[in-house]
Amino acid sequence: MSNAPEAAPTKDDAAAAAPSQPCGRGRDLNQYKGRLKPIWCTGCGIFGVLNALMRSLCELDIDPENLAVVSGIGCSSRLPGFVKCYGYHGAHGRALPTAIGVKLGNPRLTVIAAGGDGDGLSIGIGHFPHAARRNLDLTYILIDNRIYGLTKGQTSPTTVEGYETKTSPTGVIEPPLNPVELAIVYGATFVARGYSAKVKDLQNLIMEAIRHKGFSFVQVISPCVTFGKGSGFDYFGPRIKPMPEDHDAGDRHAALHLVSDTDTLLAGIFYRQDRPEYVARLQARGGARGRELDASDPKIDTESLITRFS
Amino acid sequence: MSNAPEAAPTKDDAAAAAPSQPCGRGRDLNQYKGRLKPIWCTGCGIFGVLNALMRSLCELDIDPENLAVVSGIGCSSRLPGFVKCYGYHGAHGRALPTAIGVKLGNPRLTVIAAGGDGDGLSIGIGHFPHAARRNLDLTYILIDNRIYGLTKGQTSPTTVEGYETKTSPTGVIEPPLNPVELAIVYGATFVARGYSAKVKDLQNLIMEAIRHKGFSFVQVISPCVTFGKGSGFDYFGPRIKPMPEDHDAGDRHAALHLVSDTDTLLAGIFYRQDRPEYVARLQARGGARGRELDASDPKIDTESLITRFS
Amino acid sequence: MDVTDFVMGISGDAGEGVILTGDLITQVAARSNLHISSTQTFPAEIRGGQSYVQIRLGIDSIFNPGDRLDVLVAFNRLAYHRYKPTIASDGILIIDGDPETIDMASTFGDWRGGPIYVIPMGEIAAKDVGVKRAKNMVGLGAVTALLGFAPEHGEELVHRFFAKRGEALVEPNVAGYRAGREYVAKKVTKRDHLTIPKVSGEGYLVLSGNDAIALGALYAGCRFFSGYPITPASEIMQLLAEELPRVGGTMYQAEDEIASIAAAQGASYAGVRAMTATSGPGLSLMSELLGLSGIAEIPMVVVDVQRGGPSTGLPTKTEQSDLLSAMYGGHGEFPRVVMAPISIRDCFQVMRSAFEVAEIYQVPVIVLSEQGLGHRRATLPKALLKQTPIEKVTRPQRSWGPTYNRFEITESGISPRAMPGDPGGTHLITGLEHWDFGGPAHNLENRTEMVQKRFRKLRNLDRRYGGVFAFKGEDATQHLHATTDEEAGRLSAAAESFRGQIGVIGWGATAGVVREAVARAEKRGIDTAAIFPRMIFPHNDLTIRPFIQGHQKIIVVEENFTGQYARVLMHYYDFEPERLNKYDGLPFKPEEVLRKIEEVASHV
Amino acid sequence: MDVTDFVMGISGDAGEGVILTGDLITQVAARSNLHISSTQTFPAEIRGGQSYVQIRLGIDSIFNPGDRLDVLVAFNRLAYHRYKPTIASDGILIIDGDPETIDMASTFGDWRGGPIYVIPMGEIAAKDVGVKRAKNMVGLGAVTALLGFAPEHGEELVHRFFAKRGEALVEPNVAGYRAGREYVAKKVTKRDHLTIPKVSGEGYLVLSGNDAIALGALYAGCRFFSGYPITPASEIMQLLAEELPRVGGTMYQAEDEIASIAAAQGASYAGVRAMTATSGPGLSLMSELLGLSGIAEIPMVVVDVQRGGPSTGLPTKTEQSDLLSAMYGGHGEFPRVVMAPISIRDCFQVMRSAFEVAEIYQVPVIVLSEQGLGHRRATLPKALLKQTPIEKVTRPQRSWGPTYNRFEITESGISPRAMPGDPGGTHLITGLEHWDFGGPAHNLENRTEMVQKRFRKLRNLDRRYGGVFAFKGEDATQHLHATTDEEAGRLSAAAESFRGQIGVIGWGATAGVVREAVARAEKRGIDTAAIFPRMIFPHNDLTIRPFIQGHQKIIVVEENFTGQYARVLMHYYDFEPERLNKYDGLPFKPEEVLRKIEEVASHV
Ligand SMILES: Cc1ncc(C[n+]2csc(CCOP(=O)(O)OP(=O)(O)O)c2C)c(N)n1
Ligand SMILES: Cc1ncc(C[n+]2csc(CCOP(=O)(O)OP(=O)(O)O)c2C)c(N)n1
Ligand code: SF4
Ligand code: SF4
Ligand SMILES: [Mg+2]
Ligand SMILES: [Mg+2]
C-alpha cells in the first residue's frame, strides 16, 4: 500500500470508476490515465495536449507498459504523471538526451519526449539539434505557450517582441525563435505544428508523428491562461490556419518558406523525410540491443581482447 | 617583471624585433601580435585565421586596448593569446555568453568571439541561437575543422557522415550541422563563410563582419592537418567556390537555398540584414551603460524606491 | 494578550486572494508604524491547494513570523480546520460565514481559542459589491477594522494595487474593502482586547528577502545582473529588471544558468560589478564556471536562494542544504567566499560585503539565502534606503606600465587588475594555469606558486568581513542589527567572551528564530547564547573557537538532514555537537528551538 | 645494478615518436614476461615541447614507475640535458649521435652516470632506411638489442602497429627496427651488466588505467556508455566505442557532459547498466543531474579521471582535487558513493563494485581515477581477462502486483524497481520529492520519511564494498592485489589490527608509490603501515579509527593543496595529521613519500 494518505488529491482512484470511453482496437481511454490528476489551471491549453496524446496512444494501440514519456520541468513537463506509462519527469531542459538514453536502453519502447518552450528552447535548446539530426525513432512534443508558466510569467524564447513579462517589464526586444523552422534545419524527419484547442487535428498529427520512423517533432501552440495575458485562445484562434492543401511536405524549401511567415500560424505537417533511423543503424553494426540483450546475444570475445592488449 | 623564465618558449619577445609590416592608417601588423607565439601544429589552418584577423584589425584601425577577444576551449580557442588585446580564454562552449557580458559591461569595446566547431556547435550550441537573435554588435568567428583537434581527433558536429574518428571507429552516422544555415535561421544579421587558406578573402569577410552593426557570424573552413585526415587543404581546396555574383545577400530564402547545397562550399557573404542592435535598444531605455557610467549618470531614485516599498 | 506583539494567520484556497490580503495587511501595518514579519506558504501545485500567510505584528523589530496564532483569518471552513490547531488559548477567529444562520456550537465545537467573529465576506462581495472575487477585500476591510487600523492606508493601498492591474478593477475592490469595514462598524461588537497599538512615525518599508538582496546589490554598485528564472530566486531578477535600467545598468535574462554566470563574468571582466542569482539547481550548473572565476580571478557574486533539494526537490519550500555544495562544489581547488545573510535587513547589507570582497580579492562570492528568507517580508526603517551610502559605480581608466602582469605574484595574493579599455593593460586571462603575465604555463614551480598566491587571498581576508552575529540574553535584539561590517566585527569580539551553559550555533535565516528561542530560554533561567557567522567560509576560528569552548553544550541548528555546518565545525573542533535538524521544507519555529535548548539543558 | 627491477626513461621532441617507442618497449617487455609500470608526460602544448616516457621493468609486480633512472634513452641533446639529473649513479645513457665524430669528453662532461652508448639513430634512419621518421624505430631496435630482448616480439609489434596505420608504413619501420638491432649487434660491445632477465610464461597484458576502467565496465555488464571527449578520460570512451557494439552495447557521444549523464540515466532507467566518464569540468557540469539520480533513485556510474584544476587548469597533468566536489558537489542532499581505485588492476576491479552498488542501492556512484593512473600503463596477467567472470547483462522482465509503489518505504531503504516493459510496473519517477508511488508530494511527514529512507541505503551498505587496502612491511605486495570485494574486506580487518609508529593514509593512485615508500621505510627500521580505503564515501570508520588510534603519527598523502581527505578525516577524528601535499601536476615519487616518513619519524 502507498504511504500517500487516502485523501491525497494527487492519487486518482477515479480512473477505474470513470465511465468507459472506448477507443482504438477494443481499448478504453481510461486505460491511459495515470495515477495523478492534472494540476493545471482551469482552461490551460495543456489539457488539450494531454487529451490528444491519450487518444493517439489509444488509437495506435500502444501498450502503456511499453511506453515511456520523458519530460523536463515546467507546467507542460508535468504531462508524464497524467498518462499511464513509464513516466520520467527529469531535470529542466534535459528531456531529449534522457529520452535518447531510454530509447537506446530499450529500443522496443515507444518513447515520447515532452516539454515547454522554456524547457526545450531556452535551457534545453543545445540538445535539440543533436537529437534531431541523429534521427532516433522518438517523438518530441513541444508545448509552446510562449511564456514560462511554472515560474509565473517570465520571457521565453518564443515570447513575441514587445510583449511585457515579469522579466521584460518594458517589453521583449528579442525576436522569438521559430521552433518549426529550427526542427527542419536541425534535421528532424517529421515536423508539424498543432493547436491545443483543436484536439482532433492535434491527435492526428501526434499519431502521424508517433507512426513516423525517426525523429518527429510537433510544436503545439498551447495558451497559458494565467500568465499568457493577451495571447490566450482569443489571440491564437483566428491566427491558426490549416496547412495549404497543395503543400508538399517532402519539399524542404517549401516548408521553410511556409514557416517563415510568422503572422499566420499554419497547423499541419510542414515536413517529412525518409532517412535511416539511428538505432537501426547502430543495430546493423551490432550495437544498441539495450535491455533486450539475452542469452543468445554476443559474448565478450576475451581472446581478441587479450591479443589486443598484449 | 614576469615570473616566466627567460627561456619560456611561450613569451614572444620577437614581436618588438620583428620587421615592420605597415598596414591600415599608419599602423604596423606587429602592433597586433600578442605576448604569446602560436602553438598550433605546423600547417594548421588556424594560422590563416589569425593572420586574417590581425590584418582586419589593423586595416580597421582598431585599438588593441579597446578590443576584447573571447573564446572557449580548443586549438582554435587559443586565438586570443596571440592577438594583442584584452583576451579571454574562458571555458569550453561559453564564448558567446561571455562575449555578450563583456559587450554589455563595456559597449565601447570591439568584441570578437572565436572558437571551434566542437566548442560552438556541440557543448556551446545552446548559446548560439540566443546570441544571434539578440543581435548584439559582436563578431563570432567559428573556426571549423570538422573535428575535435585539441582532444586529438573525436567526432564533431560538423564531421561528415561516414568519416572515421576515434569515437566513430566505424564511421559517423549522423549528418553534420550546417553552421551558416543555423546562423541565418537563428537571426544573425551578417552571415558569411571563409576559408583559412584564402587569407585575403577571409580578411575582407572579417572586416565586413566587424564593420557590421549587429551580430555577425563567419564560419571559417580551417583544416586540421593532424587529426583531420582526408579533410585537409587538398580536400577543401577544390570544393571551396566563390559566392555567385548575383546572389542577393538581403534575400533570406536565397541564402538558405544556396547554403543547403553542401557539396560545394561557397565562400562569401550569404546573408545580411539591417535590424536594430541590442545594446542600442537597451541604451534607448536607459540601460546598458556599462563601465562608462560616470558622475553624470543616473542616480538611484531613493524616494521612488521608498514609495514603492511602503 | 500582548498586543505589542501578536501573530495572525490568514488561510484560504489558492484562488481566494489570501496572499494579496496578507501583503496588504503588512503594508497597512507598516504604514501604521508597526513592525511585521510575515511568511507565505505557496500552494504546492500549479493550481489548487491552500494558501497561507502568517504575519507577526509588533511595536519592536521582529525577526521571525512566530508560532502560535493570536488571530486566525479563515476564508473557508477547510482553512479553519487546517489551522485551528495552531491557535493560542485566547486566540481570535475571524471567519467567512453567515452569522445569522450558522450553528456556532456544532461548527466551532472543537475551537480551543477565544472570541469568534463570523463575517459574511463572500456574501457581502457577491450581493453588496456585486463582484464575488472581491471577497478578500471585504475580508481585508473587516480585519483591519476589527483590529482598529485607520481606514485610509488600506483604501489607498487597495487603490494602488488594482490601478496597476487595470482601472476597471479599482472600484469593486475598493468597494469591497469599504463594505468590510462598514459591516464591522455596524454589526460587530468587539468582544476582545486585541486592538493594534497607536504608534507614531513615518511608517516602514516592507521588504522581502529577495527585495532586500536586489536593493542591496543596487546600493552596492551592482550594474549588471544576468540570470535565469527559478523559484524562489526569480523576484531578485524581476525587481532588477525594473530598477537596473533606471540607473544605466543591465538586467540580462540568459538562456540558462551557465550563460548567466558566463555573461556576469564577462561584464565583471569588462569592469562592472556583476552578479547572478539562482537556486540550488542553478548553482550546480554554475559550478564549472565558479572555478573559472577562481583561477582567472574574475570577481563574481552568486546568490543562491536555497530551496528543498536535491534535483527539483521541493521548489517552493525552504532548506539549508547547499552549504557544502557552495563550499566544495566545482572541480579542483580555488579560493572562494561563502556568506549567509541572517535576516532581511542583512540580505540588504550582505550584498555590499559580497561585492567588496569579490572585487578586492578577485574571487567568487556565494551568498546563501533561502526560500524562507527570500519570500519572508519584514518592516525596515525608511532610513535604510534613504541613508545607506550608494556605492560609486565608476571604474575609471588606469594606465599600466610596460611590465604589467595581470597575475603578478604578490604577498597579499592580490594582483593588479587592468580592465578592457585601460591603456597599456592588454593581457590574456585563461582558465588554464598561467604565468603571471597570463600565458598558459605548465611549469611545476609556477603552478605551485600560483596556487599558493591565489589561496593567500583568503588568508589575508580582512577580518571585518568575517563578522559573527551574537545573541545573548537581553542583548540579542540589538546584536541582530549590526549594520556595518565594522559593527559585525565588534559583535564577533563580544561573542568570543561569551561563556555559559548552552551555546547555539546556526547560519543564515534561522537566526531570527534562534534569537527568540535564546531570549525565551534566558527567561526560563537557561543560560544560553547563540552565534551566527555571516561569513561561513573561510571559517572564523577566532570567534567560534572560544564560543564552543566557553559553553558546556553546543547545539547546531540547521534546516537540513546531514548537518552540513555541524560537519564543518567538527572538522575544526574536537566536539560532538547536539544537532537540531529539520528537512521537511518549513522553517523552524521558535518553540522547536526552545524545546531543544530545554532538552539539552536538562541533561547538562 | 638490480636487474630484477629497473627504470628506463625515454625522452625526445614531441614529433620524434617517443610515446610510441615507449609503448612498444612496454609491450615487448610484457611479451617477455616482465612486469612494467610506465608513465608518460605529454607535451603541454598542442605542438612542440618535450615528450617523455618512463618505464619501470621487473620480474615482480610493479606499482609505480619509480624515480631514479637506470637507463636514459635520449633522442636528442636537449632531451639528454633535461633528464640527466634524474640518472642513478651507475645509470646507462643511450643517445642519438655519431659515435665516430662525437667529442665524448666535452659532450658528456657533466654526466654523472655509468656507460654511454652513442647510436646514430637518425643517420641510420635517413641513410640506411631512407625514411628519416623511422628514427624512433631504429632506437627501438637498438634499445631492445642492448637490453637483450629477443628480436621477434619487437618486429611483430612494429608490424602490427603500422599495419593498422597503412600498409605502406610497415616496411620502412620494420626496416628501421631491424637496422637498429643490426647496428648494435655489429658495432656495440656491451660495457655494463644490465640485461633483462629471462623469465618464462605466457606474457602479460599491458593496460592503462583508462583501458582497465573500460574493460572493467565491460566485464561488469555495462552496455551503455555516453560521454563527451575530455582529457584525460577520452580513452575510456574511445575503447568502448570499439568494444561496446561488439557485445550489443552502445557508445553514445553526446553533445556535452550534461547530455552524457542524462542519456546514461535514461538508459539506466530503461534497464541497462550505464555509465559516463569525464574529468573535473565534466563532473561539475553533471552535478545537477547527480542529484536527480539521488532522489529519483536511478543507478548511475560516473568516472572522473581527475586532472589539474580548477576550470581548464592543467588538463594533461594529474591531481586529486575533486574529492570534496565528488562528495558534496550538487545542491541538496542525497545518498551517493565515492570510490577510488588504487592501481591499474583496481581500475578494472572497482568497476564491478561500482556497478553493483549503483544497481543494488539505486544510487549514483562516482569513481575517482586521475590522469596519473589513467595514462599510466602496467602489466597484468592474462587471466584477468580470461578468468574474471563476466556479469550477466540480461535484466529479465518482472511482473508487479497492483499495489506496486516504486519508492516504497522499506527498512533497507531499497525499493522495488520496475523497468519499462515490465508488466504492471508503470510508474512515474520525478526529481520532485514524491510519494512512494511516485507522485509529487509536499507533505511534511512524507518528506521527512523519504529523506530518511534514501539515506538508510548508505547506512545499510554491505561492508564488503568498503574494503581498505592495507600495506605493512613485507605484506604490502600481496595486499595490493585483493582481487575481490571479499578480499578487500579481509584486508580491512587486517588493517584494524595494525599498530605502530607511522601510519600513512592516502586514497587513489598514490597507493603504488606509498606502498613502495612504506616498504623502504620498513627496511630502514621505521615501523610504518599504510591504508587506502577504496570506498571513500561513505566513510569506513570501523577500519580507519583503529588504524589512526594505533599509530603515533599519521601522514595523509594527497595530490592537492587543501588536503581534502585530511579534512574529511579530521571531521571524524580528533587528530592533527601530518600532511604531504603536492599540486604541481606530477604524481609523487616513492622518494618524496619516504622522505616525509623519515622526517616525521625523526620527530616522534
Ligand atoms: C536548472 C533549472 N533552472 C531553472 C528552473 C526553474 N524553472 C522551472 S520550469 C521553468 C520554465 C518553465 O517554462 P516552460 O518550459 O515554457 O514550461 P511551462 O511552465 O510554460 O509549460 C523554469 C525556468 C529549474 N527547475 N531548473
Ligand atoms: C566541459 C569540458 N568538456 C570537455 C572539454 C575537453 N575539450 C577541450 S577542447 C574540446 C573540443 C575541441 O574541439 P573544437 O572546439 O572543434 O576545437 P579545435 O581543437 O578543433 O579547434 C574538448 C571536448 C573541456 N575542456 N571542458
Ligand atoms: S500557469 Fe499557464 S501553463 Fe501553467 S498550468 Fe496554468 S495556464 Fe497552464
Ligand atoms: S591538432 Fe589540428 S587544429 Fe589543433 S593545432 Fe594541430 S592541426 Fe591545428
Ligand atoms: Mg512555456
Ligand atoms: Mg574543431
Are A98 and A47 within one domain? yes
Q: C251 vs A167: CB contact, 8 Å cut-off? A: yes
Using a CB–CB cutoff of 8 Å, tell me whether B170 touches chain D: yes
How would you classify residue C362: left for phi > 0, otherwise alpha for psi between -120 and 50, otherwise beta?
left
pLDDT, position B5: 62
Are A307 and A204 within one domain? no
Find all residues with CB under 8 Å of D323, minimum gap 6, and list them: D338, D368, D507, D536, D560, D564, D565, D568
Sole residue written with cell 581527475: D306
Contacts of D312 in chain B (CB under 8 A): 73, 91-92
Residue A9 lies in a domain: no
Q: Are residues A81 and A34 in contact, defined by beta-carbon separation less than 8 angstroms?
A: yes
Enter the pTM of the model: 0.97
Q: Taking 60 as the threshold, does the pLDDT of residue A6 lie above it?
A: no
Question: Percentage of chain B with pLDDT > 70?
Answer: 95
Are B107 and B232 within one domain? yes
The shortest CB-CB distance from C294 to any of D44, D294, D310 is to D310
Q: Which residues of D lie inside 8 Å of B (Cβ-Cβ)?
A: 45-49, 228-231, 234, 237-238, 241-242, 245, 251, 253, 255-257, 281, 311-312
Output the CA B42–ligand 2 centroid distance in Å.
20
Question: Percentage of chain C with pLDDT > 70?
Answer: 97
Residues B160-190 pLDDT 10s: 999 999 999 999 999 999 999 999 999 999 9
pLDDT, position B12: 47
* 3-state secondary structure labels for all residues of D188-242: CCCCCCCCCCCCCCCCEEEEEHHHHHHHHHHHCCCCEEEECCCCCCHHHHHHHHH
Strands C5-13 and C364-370: unpaired
In degrees rounded to 5, what are phi and psi of residue D381?
-65, 145
Are A163 and A297 within one domain? no
Output the CA A40–ligand 3 centroid distance in Å.
6
CA gap C81, C65 in Å, rounded:
21
Q: Are residues B123 and C289 in contact, defined by beta-carbon separation less than 8 angstroms?
A: no
Q: Are residues C318 and C370 in contact, defined by beta-carbon separation less than 8 angstroms?
A: yes
CA gap C217, C355 in Å, rounded:
8
Residues D432-475 pLDDT 10s: 999 999 999 999 999 999 999 999 999 889 877 878 888 887 65
* Domain interval for residue B287: 278-310
Q: Are residues D548 and D569 in contact, defined by beta-carbon separation less than 8 angstroms?
A: yes
Q: B2 vs C248: CB contact, 8 Å cut-off? A: no
Residues D342-391 pLDDT 10s: 999 999 999 999 999 999 999 999 999 999 999 999 999 999 999 999 99
| Weakest-pLDDT range from A13-22, A78-87, A291-300 | A13-22
Are B230 and B302 within one domain? no
Q: A87 vs D205: CB contact, 8 Å cut-off? A: no
Give the residue among D516, D478, D541, D482 at the shortest CA–CA distance from D593: D516
Q: Which ligand is nearest to the CA of C315?
A: 1
Residue B262 lies in a domain: yes
Output the ligand 1 site: residues, CB below 6 A: A 73-76, 92, 115-119, 143, 145, 147-151, 156; C 228-230, 257, 281-282, 285, 312
> How large is the average pLDDT for residues C234-252?
98
Q: A105 vs D403: CB contact, 8 Å cut-off? A: no
Chain C residue with minimal CA distance to A75?
A: C46
> How large is the average pLDDT for residues B264-271?
96
> How large is the average pLDDT for residues C560-585?
95
HSE-CB at B255 with a 13 A cutoff on CA atoms is: 27
pLDDT, position D41: 79
Are B159 and B264 within one domain? yes
Taking only residues 133 to 162 of chain A, the set having a beta carbon closer than 8 angstroms to any beta carbon of chain D reads: none
Using a CB–CB cutoff of 8 Å, tell me whether A41 touches chain C: yes
Beta bridge partners of A229: none
**Closest approach atom of ligand 2 to CA B76:** 21
> How large is the average pLDDT for residues D149-164?
95
Tell which one of A75, A89, A92 to mutate to probe ligand 1, the residue whose CB is within 8 A of the most ligand atoms: A92
CA gap A262, D510 in Å, rounded:
62
Structural domains of chain D sorted by starting position, each given as residue range(s) with its CATH number in brackets: 5-203 (3.40.920.10), 207-385 (3.40.50.970), 394-459 (no CATH), 465-603 (3.40.50.920)
pLDDT, position C81: 93
**Closest approach atom of ligand 2 to CA D229:** 23
CA gap B85, D472 in Å, rounded:
57
Output the ligand 3 site: residues, CB below 6 A: A 40-41, 44, 46, 75, 145, 149, 224-227; C 46
Q: Taking 60 as the threshold, does the pLDDT of residue C480 lie above it?
A: no
Residue A304 lies in a domain: yes
Are B269 and B284 within one domain? no
Q: D234 vs B170: CB contact, 8 Å cut-off? A: no
pLDDT, position B11: 43
CA gap D511, D557 in Å, rounded:
9
Residues B211-238 pLDDT 10s: 999 999 999 999 999 999 888 999 999 9
Q: Is B165 in the pocket of ligand 2 (CB under 6 A)?
A: no
Q: Taking 60 as the threshold, does the pLDDT of residue A12 lie above it?
A: no
Q: Specify the amino acid at residue A190.
A: F
Using a CB–CB cutoff of 8 Å, tell me whether B297 touches chain C: yes
Using a CB–CB cutoff of 8 Å, tell me whether D563 touches chain C: no
pLDDT, position D303: 98
Start-to-end C-alpha separation, chain B: 56
Residue B11 lies in a domain: no
Q: C324 vs D319: CB contact, 8 Å cut-off? A: no
pLDDT, position A11: 43
Q: Taking 70 as the threshold, does the pLDDT of residue A1 lie above it?
A: no
Q: Is D75 in the pocket of ligand 2 (CB under 6 A)?
A: no
Residues across chain C: 604
Q: Specify the amino acid at residue D198.
A: K
Q: Taking 90 as the threshold, does the pLDDT of residue C380 lie above it?
A: yes
Question: What pLDDT band is residue C487 in, cutting at 50, 70 and 90?
Answer: confident
Output the CA B91–ligand 4 centroid distance in Å.
19
Question: How far, rounded to the nearest angstrom, does the alpha carbon of residue C304 sit from its chain's CA centroid?
Answer: 11
Minimal C-alpha gap between D593 and chain B (Å): 29
3 state DSSP class of A286: coil
Residue B35 lies in a domain: no
Question: Where does D327-476 show beta strands of DSSP type E?
Answer: 337-339, 364-370, 377-381, 427-430, 468-472
Sheet with C250-253, side-by-side order of all strands: C250-253, C224-227, C274-278, C300-306, C364-370, C337-339, C535-537
Instruction: Work out whether the CA dihedral C319, C320, C326, C330 comes out positive or negative.
Output: negative
pLDDT, position D108: 93
Residues C295-342 pLDDT 10s: 999 999 999 999 999 999 999 999 999 999 999 999 999 999 999 999
Residues B35-56 pLDDT 10s: 999 999 999 999 999 999 999 9
pLDDT, position C494: 80
CA gap D477, D485 in Å, rounded:
17
The shortest CB-CB distance from D241 to any of B40, B73, B167 is to B167
Are B140 and B213 within one domain? yes
* 3-state secondary structure labels for all residues of C429-490: EECECECCCCCECCCHHHHHHHHHHHHHHHHCCCHHHHCEEEEEHHHHHHHHCCCCHHHHHH
Q: Specify the amino acid at residue C125.
A: A
Question: Percentage of chain D with pLDDT > 90?
Answer: 83
Are A167 and A80 within one domain? yes
Residues A165-191 pLDDT 10s: 999 999 999 999 999 999 999 999 999
Question: What pLDDT band is residue B14 in, cutting at 50, 70 and 90?
Answer: very low
Are A114 and A146 within one domain? yes
| Weakest-pLDDT range from B104-113, C168-177, D281-290, D392-401 | D392-401
Q: D428 vs A294: CB contact, 8 Å cut-off? A: no
Residues B66-93 pLDDT 10s: 999 999 999 999 999 999 999 999 999 9
Contacts of D229 in chain B (CB under 8 A): 118, 148, 151, 154, 167
Give the residue among A136, A105, A101, A282 at the shortest CA–CA distance from A217: A136
Q: Are residues A103 and A111 in contact, defined by beta-carbon separation less than 8 angstroms?
A: yes
Contacts of C243 in chain A (CB under 8 A): none
| Weakest-pLDDT range from A295-309, D543-557, D573-587 | A295-309
pLDDT, position A164: 96
Chain B residue with minimal CA distance to C271?
A: B291
pLDDT, position D394: 79
Strands C300-306 and C337-339: unpaired
Q: Taking 60 as the threshold, does the pLDDT of residue D481 lie above it?
A: no
For every residue of D8-71, DSSP letters joined together read EEEEEEGGGTHHHHHHHHHHHHHHTT-EEEEEEE--SSSS-SEEEEEEEEESS---S--SSEEE
Start-to-end C-alpha separation, chain A: 56
The domain that contains B132 carries what CATH number?
3.40.50.970
Domain total for chain B? 2
Give the residue among A288, B300, A148 at the shortest CA–CA distance from D225: A288
Compute the mean pLDDT over every residue in chain C, rounded to the nearest whole number: 93
Number of cross-chain residue pairs from A and D with Cβ atoms under 8 Å apart: 251
Cis ω for the linkage preceding D341 (within 30 of 0): no
Query: For chain B, which chains pass the contact test of at least 3 CB pairs under 8 Å?
Result: A, C, D
Contacts of D203 in chain A (CB under 8 A): 310
Residues C46-90 pLDDT 10s: 666 788 999 999 998 888 898 899 999 999 999 999 999 999 999
Residues C419-463 pLDDT 10s: 999 999 999 999 999 999 999 999 999 999 999 999 999 988 987
Give the residue among C147, C151, C150 at the shortest CA–CA distance from C192: C147
> How large is the average pLDDT for residues D203-230?
97
Are B261 and B287 within one domain? no
Are A166 and A293 within one domain? no
